[in-house]
Structure 1
Amino acid sequence: MKTLVNFRDLGAYQTVDGRKIKPAKLLRSGQPVGLAENDKEKLVQDYQLRQIIDFRSSSEIAKKPVDSMNQVNYHNIDLMKDVETGNSSLGDLMRNGTVDEVDEAMLTVYGELVMNESAQKGYADFLAKIVAQETGAVLFHCFAGKDRTGVGSALVLSLLGVSYDDMMRDYLLTNVLRQADNAKMVAEAKAEGKNAEQLRALERIMSVDEMYIKETFTKIRDNFGTVQEFASQALDFNLNRQNDLKALLLQK
């Protein structure tokens, strides 16, 4: 994809029992805004995209509405509606934060995304939408496709039986796929007069780090034991529904 940042198809990841995720079923990305017509056509024709799930807030959507595409349904789930970010908002940290402040805020966010009741309802809705989409592909995204989307991807891959190491590789791939866009943002901030610490903090907040997603899994382990139990207890997604997810997305 030339104009869709941080895009990938989660198909072909292998589960610990040797099965593979079907291609062109589960897609993740940054916000699909201002796409070239060729990229839209590729999504609809080659990937058979039929559902977009947008994890952004209403204010984010108002500023950058998702591109419309033929035959594609749209569903918004505001995951951060009630999520705590610590002492400063992420917007404030992007403008004037320090690296330490960014790390502290991101650890809070990654824990809250699985412990906050509103976020849990959001991910429950997300999983239900995936299972309901029997034909074609689902694309899920947020702004950068890294945090809200990263946790969503980690949960789905884990429930499908993909190894922790492969889940982590997919998560960290964001740092490669967003490299050019992040460098552009940092260059623009430097031109605006941001100091070296502010530029490092901006680069940090637009990246992902293994310790962030580890915080998510630590919260799940400490409070629920396993991702499967977390899904059952917090996301209304019991073992039968988890098996439905596997039947839909895994090759036989």
Structure 2
Amino acid sequence: MTQPKHAHAIELATVPNLRDLGGWVTADGRKVQTGRVYRSTELHRLAGDDRTKFEELGITLIFDLRTAAERQAAPDPNLPGVTDVPLDVLADSATAIPAHLNAVLADPAMVAKANEALGGGKAESLIEGTYRQIVTLPSARAAYRKFYEELAEPSTSGAALFHCTTGKDRTGWATATFLTVLGVSRDEVFEDYLLTNDELIPALHPIFAAFEKAGGDPDVLSALLGVRREYLEGAFDEMAKEFGDIDGYFTKGLGLDASVPEKLRERYLEQ
């Protein structure tokens, strides 16, 4: 396997932005266990040697955070011994950009519209709005509730992985809340989040080239396909405004039992 650019990254050409969430150190000096929880982009291109390497990670539980339409357009492969859990985070949003990225990029007629509709900082503003929706949408709260119920008491042994389409927005919030509830500092949560710009964007150069050739503004595409600190800041701000802190988000926002955060810490931190 190619040496990753970052300690948390696992380089598979067909699954960019694949990372192990282990290794981060918490405020009390404990460390998140490695080889237990992974994040990634969609998996439909997984094949050949990459598939073999992926199977060697020991993943037995995959949470798919995409919409039903996204899953139908690019279904996850059938992997032996793996339980797939569909969790449609954005089911209650008809306008969220992350759920429609593939459609936008696949339609050349959308390029000119994208320049007009999303240029001049509009893309950034819209995506930050989506992050705030991810915190409060009923479908998002139901999806993340199921996600954490399953992580706290998994129905299978082995490692877990969660992903959306590009592995940065719905997946980014899942990662941010997971690391936060384990006790990882906010600075390191943002460090993990911003790694997407290093791990994903280089793999998308052909998309950038085609978009620009069709007259698209690369800054617009960068805002759509990359991550910005203000996106995640918007989600944390919404969480604080609606639920107070991470424990309030888990209990009041997701409706989880108050014991779930401690169960997660017992299961995924080195003791």
**How far 1:204 sits from its partner (Å)?**
1.3
Q: Is the 8 A contact 2:90 2:137 kept in 1?
A: no
Q: Residue 92 of structure 2 aligns with which residue?
A: 82
Corresponding letter in the other structure for 2:239: I
1:119 aligns with 2:140: yes
Q: Is the 8 A contact 2:92 2:139 kept in 1?
A: yes
Please give the residue correspondences for 1:203-222 in structure 2 after superposition, counting only pairs within 5 Å. Answer: 203-222=222-241
1:182 to 204, 224, 227: 204
Corresponding letter in the other structure for 1:81: A
**How far 1:86 sits from its partner (Å)?**
7.1
1:157 aligns with 2:157: no
- State the alpha-carbon separation in 1 of the partners of residues 201 and 139 from structure 2: 31
Could you tell me the TM-score, scaled by structure 1's length? 0.92
- State the alpha-carbon separation in 2 of the partners of residues 209 and 107 from structure 1: 9
Q: Residue 7 of structure 2 aligns with which residue?
A: none
- State the alpha-carbon separation in 1 of the partners of residues 221 and 239 from structure 2: 28
Could you tell me the TM-score, scaled by structure 2's length? 0.86
Q: Which runs of 5+ in 1 are unaligned?
A: none
Corresponding letter in the other structure for 2:205: A
Please give the residue correspondences for 1:35-184 in structure 2 after superposition, counting only pairs within 5 Å. Answer: 35-45=46-56, 47-83=57-93, 85=95, 90-91=100-101, 95=111, 96=114, 97-133=118-154, 135-184=157-206
Identity rate, percent: 27
Map Cα deviations across residues 204-241 of structure 1 (whole Å, 9 max, x no partner).
Answer: 10000000000001011112111111111111223311
Q: Is the 8 A contact 1:29 1:140 kept in 2?
A: yes
Q: CA RMSD in A?
A: 2.0
1:23 aligns with 2:34: yes
Q: Is the 8 A contact 1:51 1:75 kept in 2?
A: yes
SS in 2 for 1:138: strand
- State the alpha-carbon separation in 2 of the partners of residues 19 and 239 from structure 1: 21
SS in 2 for 1:239: coil
SS in 1 for 2:60: strand
**How far 1:59 sits from its partner (Å)?**
1.1
SS in 1 for 2:121: helix
Aligned length: 248
- State the alpha-carbon separation in 1 of the partners of residues 245 and 227 from structure 2: 23
1:10 to 5, 15, 21: 21
- State the alpha-carbon separation in 1 of the partners of residues 74 and 95 from structure 2: 22
